[in-house]
Amino acid sequence: MNAHDAKDKQWVQPDTLTGGTSGGVTKPYGKGKRLIILHAGSENGWVPNAELVFQSGGTSDDYHKDMDHQEFERWFKDQLLPNIPVNSIIAMDNASYHSRRFEPLPTSSWRKGDMISWLVNKSIPFPAGSTKKALYIIIKQHKSKYLQYAIDEMAKSAGYEVVRLPVGHCELNPIEMARSQVKGYAKTHNTQFTLEALEPLVKDGITSRKMAQSCSACT
CATH number (domain holding residue 182): 3.30.420
80 falls within a domain: yes
Q: Which domain holds residue 96?
A: 13-102+148-218
Sign, Cα dihedral of 36, 40, 45, 51: negative
Angle of CA points 69, 206, 28, to nearest 5°: 85
Measured in degrees and rounded to the nearest 5, phi and psi for residue 189 equal -100, 0
In a domain, 211, yes or no: yes
- Of 69, 68, 66, 40, nearest to 52 by C-alpha is 40
Please check whether residue 182 lies inside any domain of the structure.
Answer: yes
Does residue 141 sit within a domain? no
Q: What is the pLDDT of residue 124?
A: 96
Please say whether the dihedral angle defined by the alpha carbons of residues 186, 192, 194 and 199, taken in this order, is positive or negative.
negative
Domain assignment present for residue 210? The answer is yes
User: What's the confidence (pLDDT) of residue 216?
Assistant: 40
pTM over the 0.85 mark: no
Say if 142 falls within a structural domain: no
Q: Give the number of domains in the chain.
A: 1
Give the pLDDT means over successive 10-residue stretches in the chain (219 positions): 81 68 70 89 91 77 74 95 94 90 92 96 95 96 92 94 88 86 90 90 81 40
Residue 119 falls inside a structural domain: no
Contact between 148 and 102 (Cβ < 8 Å): yes
- Domain contains 116: no
**Rounded Cα gap, residues 42 and 177, in angstroms:** 12
d(CA 26, CA 17): 20
